[in-house]
Amino acid sequence: MTRPIDQRRLRVGIVGGGRGAFIGAVHRIAAELDGDSLVVAGALSSDPATAAASAADWRLARSYASFEEMARTEARLPDGIDFVIIATPNHLHLPVARAFLESGIHVMCDKPLALSLDEGCEFARLVADSGRLFGLAHTYSGYPAVLEARALVANGTLGTLRKVHVEYLQDWLMDALEQTGQKQSSWRTDPALAGSGGALGDIGTHAHHLAEFITGQTVQSLSADVTHFVPGRRLDDDANLLLRFSGGAKGTMVCSQVCCGEENDLGIRVYGTRGALEWHQLEPNTLLFKPAGGAVQVRRTGKGFVSAEALAATRTPAGHPEGYLEAFATLYRSFAADVRRVARGEMPLRSYPGVEDGLRGLAFVAAALTSARDASRWTSLRD
């Protein structure tokens, strides 16, 4: 006899993310970090031998040769999974989600939501019709300092927002790595597998989400200059954008995967009439607050003066660095809590990114590409 959901760890499955992948192991570690969930089943590769070997690496109780078989079987088992993680290339997000949502299983999915905005709209209808929970892994919204930045904007500490600058810079695609057969670059530069956006879809959607998450404003229109710097590359590897936000703020965004010497440099500055803030993912525990006419304040996470939201997301005492895995785990902790609420017949809080965030990301990519094709014409984001 299986134990009630509040008396055990949640059982989790994962699709994709096996040997040779990057993000699958990150999802698994993050889901298990707080001891609330345990990955027990997986369809870790489209190649059955790789799937079995990867499951053995992770010591999973159950391994499947396909996600379809996994969804059918887990839905029938008395000790089947409570939710599934999708850690596949983008073109599989929708079909995998459909298989599990239609089997009554909650879904946490890597971003972006889908290949295109039209596919994203189909995704949204699927989630709504299923009545199941759906989370989207916009990781950076889980950092305590980002939650503190969001709280400062929401409580009016910055005053009326005027200017937002966000950038996400990498160098890993500055050469034609995809021509060497390297797995990650091969699918991320293939429009059939990644979608219509290269750097825009891969890291631009993160920058877009971070700007909207912190400011509480949505991007309404944009002007984009989009480039393919590496010869023969089919998707963009660099983009520079001007942004107009719903609350009147103006913004700039740079996302690039050809910036020599940059590792994973995501950063944001927000300027208001009473103050400004600045945060960089490479120094995730530090938030700079710049009050008008006053000295710059260094706000470190884990201190008693930060917001309740930031404190709730902090796992270690002040001065002990927290990073990417912990930010990921914050999303999983919130999602797992909702899985338990739904099982008890309660309303979910949905305090993590979801399908609506994914749709806005896809609308952002579509508008940027439309603008770029028309000499950087100002383009509104499709609702």
- In 3-state terms, what secondary structure has residue 7? helix
Distance CA 30, CA 175 (A): 31
> pLDDT-based confidence at 40, cuts 50/70/90?
very high
The answer on pLDDT for 262 being more than 70 is yes
Q: Which domains does the chain have, with CATH numbers?
A: 5-132 (3.40.50.720), 143-318+360-373 (3.30.360.10)
Distance CA 347, CA 345 (A): 7
H or E element that contains 15: strand 10-15
The answer on pLDDT for 320 being more than 80 is no
State the DSSP code for 22.
S
Distance CA 309, CA 306 (A): 8
Q: What is the rounded average pLDDT for all residues in the chain? A: 95
- At residue 234, φ and ψ (nearest 5 deg) are -90, -20
H or E element that contains 86: strand 83-86
Average pLDDT, integer, range 324-348? 96
pLDDT, tens only, 222-257: 999 999 999 999 999 999 999 999 999 999 999 999
H or E element that contains 63: strand 62-63
Distance CA 126, CA 261 (A): 42
Q: Is the link from the previous residue into 112 a cis peptide, with omega within 30 of 0?
A: yes
- Each as own residue / partner, the long-range contacts of residues 58-61 (CB below 8 Å, 24 or more positions apart, any chain) are 58/28
Say how many CA atoms lie within 13 Å of 177 toward its Cβ. 15
Q: Which residues pair with 254 in a beta bridge?
A: 167, 240
Distance CA 188, CA 90 (A): 9
Average pLDDT, integer, range 161-177? 98
Distance CA 362, CA 113 (A): 7
In this structure, the strands spanning 286-291 and 275-280 are: antiparallel
- In contact, 194 and 188? CB cutoff 8 Å: yes
pLDDT, tens only, 139-156: 999 999 999 999 999 999
- Measure CA of the first residue to CA of the last residue in the chain; give whole Å: 47
In this structure, the strands spanning 297-300 and 379-380 are: unpaired
Distance of CA 4 to the CA centre of its chain: 30
pLDDT, tens only, 11-25: 999 999 988 888 999
For 190-319, list the strands marked E by DSSP: 219-227, 238-245, 250-256, 265-272, 275-280, 286-291, 297-300
| The pLDDT value given to residue 270 | 98
Closest CA to 199 of 372, 3, 4, 329: 372
> pLDDT-based confidence at 1, cuts 50/70/90?
low
**Angstrom distances, CA of residue 374 to CA of 141, 204, 208, 377:** 32, 20, 21, 6
